[in-house]
Amino acid sequence: MHDQLKICINKGTERPFSGKYHHYKEPGIYKCVCCGNDLFESDQMRMLWK
C-alpha cells in the first residue's frame, strides 16, 4: 500500500517539513489521496500560512 494512503487510512502523519512538496511553489490543486477529489487550491494554503 502506498505510504500516503497508509497515513490517511490509519490517521497518521508524516514527519513535519519532510514532504516532497514542502518547498513546492507552483500553483495547483491539492487532491485527496484516497478518492482524488479536489481539497483546495495552493493559493488558499499560502494565505493560511501568512
DSSP for 30-42?
Answer: EE-TTT--EEEEH
Instruction: Please check whether residue 20 lies inside any domain of the structure.
Output: no
State the residue range of the domain holding 46. Answer: 1-12+26-50
Whether 30 is covered by a domain: the verdict is yes
Span 21-29, average pLDDT: 82
In a domain, 43, yes or no: yes
In this prediction, residue 11 has a pLDDT band, given cuts at 50, 70 and 90, of: confident
Let me know if residue 17 belongs to a domain. no
**Number of domains comprising the chain:** 1
Cα–Cα distances (Å) from 6 to 11, 25, 33, 43, 49, in that order, read 8, 26, 10, 27, 26
Average the pLDDT over 25-35 and give the result: 87
pTM of this structure: 0.57
Q: 23 or 29: which carries more pLDDT confidence?
A: 29
| Averaged pLDDT, 29-46 | 85
Q: What is the mean pLDDT of residues 7-26?
A: 80
Q: Which residue has the higher pLDDT, 9 or 46?
A: 9
